[in-house]
Chains A and B, each alone.
Chain A
Amino acid sequence: DIQMTQSPSSLSASVGDRVTITCRASQSISSFLNWYQQKPGKAPKLLIYAASSLQSGVPSRFSGSGSGTDFTLTISSLQPEDFATYYCQQSDSTPWTFGQGTKVEIK
């Protein structure tokens, strides 16, 4: 199985900050990488697919990059509604696997 490792596991940031979350795959997954946002008690929401494609309706302050084994999710200017947990997920091969999550908290 492909292991996905996110860093950091949590971070504290202020509104307006630029935030970067990293995801590393245990083997090359090309660009088969998706990012989701989850708020407490809610279902996950797709943000980015195919490593860098922004899902319809998602604000442009979210962006994704990377290929192979190393990927990043960037929030260019953190907004109050962005405080949540973020997960990367590979769709290169089954079983699909998620990173452990990165919790973005208010500083």
Chain B
Amino acid sequence: EVQLVESGGGLVQPGGSLRLSCAASGFTFSSYWMHWVRQAPGKGLVWVSRINSDGSSTSYADSVKGRFTISRDNAKNTLYLQMNSLRAEDTAVYYCARSERFWSGNYYYYYMDVWGKGTTVTVSS
């Protein structure tokens, strides 16, 4: 079964750090780009970051750039999100998601086809 399981969430004080993990199983993890998406309580989905299959290329939302670092260990089938200088507005459920692609004959279309159940991060004093 294709599965993503997040862990590492919890309560942290403003200015603190946390590292989230996402364990992948049931597919060849090293072949896929991966994403982090978050959802603040009662709010919509917000894309946070993505990493390519070998970890050589990353991208971030402006709101987390310089504070968060996405990485992966393909030998351990695990995706990470290192979160530093945390703020109250970072409070959210954090989901990891697999990035699949579809070749139309002209373009590759990308989408997030497998999602974990999420891990909750609360930033509060």
Query: Known contacts being A95-B47, A97-B47, A101-B44, is A46 close to B59, with CB within 8 Å?
Result: no
Chain B contact residues, CB within 8 Å of chain A: 35, 37, 44-47, 50, 59-62, 95, 100, 102, 104, 107, 109-113, 115-118
A46 to B98, CA, bound (A): 11
Top 8 nearest A-B pairs (CB, nearest first) are A50-B109, A49-B111, A43-B115, A96-B47, A34-B111, A91-B110, A98-B45, A94-B59
Which chain A residues numbered 21 to 61 have a C-beta less than 8 Å away from chain B? 30-32, 34, 36, 38, 42-46, 49-50, 53, 55
* Distance to closest chain B CB from A101 (angstroms): 5
Partner of B112, one of A34, A97, A100: A34
Chain A contact residues, CB within 8 Å of chain B: 1, 30-32, 34, 36, 38, 42-46, 49-50, 53, 55, 87, 89, 91, 94-101
* Distance to closest chain B CB from A20 (angstroms): 20
**Contact A87–B44 (Cβ < 8 Å):** yes
